[in-house]
């Protein structure tokens, strides 16, 4: 599957002059807080974020360009909803911070008899894999969850092989002034539901030193972005 640059959306993500110094989000969270939140919502996650985000999961999996035999790392595997959608002829490693989320993922994978998926408890900001371990590194609905998005994406790039893809699917702050103002206002509340509502995409790309090959809108409504990067060979 070829990766295509969607020009209109990519132009929207061009960093403004102040992007390198702009605050990524008004909400600041620590890793312990994130783990605690997801331990609490693990039992209801499938009912709240399962159906509402599933169209984006299906669409994005189809755009990852996974080939037979590829080594795929999913960062933030959660309850395993995404893990059972991958082709059966690739090798998937799913990591998550929350033990309760992983327990649900293990049960789902067992029910679906997915023998190509392994699960590990791990912090996305401190991956324990060697450099260049995976062909595809994918973070669905994760970048706005972690305490340090920049460190997380640097880790994703580190464990991706040269020429491989590291990809994240996420909601980012609205480009409209009113939308951005609302998202900034509610973000200190949404962190208790497991995500920051106001993550600034141009600032994130500039501060992480990323130059995506594509930024595509997915999900219904199409307010989530699938951002694909290639690690330099």
> Which of 108 and 222 is assigned the larger pLDDT?
108
Report the CATH superfamily, name and number, of domain 7-230: Vaccinia Virus protein VP39 (3.40.50.150)
Who's near 216: CB < 8 A, 6+ residues apart? 6, 9, 63, 225, 226, 228
Locus of tokens 């209801």: 44
Report the range out of 7-11, 39-43, 108-112 with the highest average pLDDT. Answer: 108-112
Question: In the predicted model, is pLDDT for residue 3 greater than 80?
Answer: no
CA atoms of 99 and 122, how far apart (whole Å) = 9
Write down the pLDDT at residue 14: 56
Question: pLDDT tens for residues 99-150?
Answer: 999 999 999 999 999 999 999 999 999 999 999 999 999 999 999 999 999 9
Question: In the predicted model, is pLDDT for residue 164 greater than 50?
Answer: yes
Residue 198 contacts residue 175 (beta carbons within 8 Å) = no
Q: DSSP per residue over 67-129, as a string? A: -TT-EEEEES-TTSTTGGGS-TTSEEEEEES-HHHHHHHHHHHHHTT-TTEEEEE--TTS--S
- What are the residue boundaries of the structural domains of the chain, listed by start? 7-230
Question: Cβ–Cβ contacts within 10 Å for residue 62, how many?
Answer: 12
Locus of tokens 């998005």: 149
């Amino acid at each position: 599957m070829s990766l295509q640059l969607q020009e209109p959306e990519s132009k929207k993500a061009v960093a403004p002059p102040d992007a390198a110094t702009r605050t990524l989000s008004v909400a600041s969270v620590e890793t312990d807080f994130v783990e605690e939140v997801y331990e609490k919502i693990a039992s209801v996650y499938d009912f709240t974020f399962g159906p509402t985000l599933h169209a984006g999961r299906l669409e994005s999996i189809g755009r990852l360009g996974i080939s037979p035999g590829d080594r795929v790392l999913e960062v933030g595997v959660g309850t395993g909803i995404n893990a059972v959608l991958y082709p059966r002829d690739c090798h998937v490693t799913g990591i998550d911070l929350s033990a309760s989320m992983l327990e649900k993922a293990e049960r789902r994978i067992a029910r679906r008899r997915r023998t190509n998926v392994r699960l590990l408890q791990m912090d996305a900001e401190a991956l324990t894999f060697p450099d260049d371990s995976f062909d595809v590194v994918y973070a669905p609905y994760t970048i706005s969850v972690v305490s340090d998005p920049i460190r997380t994406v640097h880790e994703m790039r580190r464990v991706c092989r040269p020429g491989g893809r590291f990809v994240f699917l996420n909601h980012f702050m609205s480009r409209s002034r009113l939308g951005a103002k609302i998202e900034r206002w509610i973000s200190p509340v949404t962190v208790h539901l497991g995500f920051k509502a106001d993550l600034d995409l141009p600032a994130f790309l500039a501060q992480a030193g990323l130059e995506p090959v594509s930024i595509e809108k997915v999900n219904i409504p199409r307010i989530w972005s699938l951002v694909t990067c290639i690690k330099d060979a």
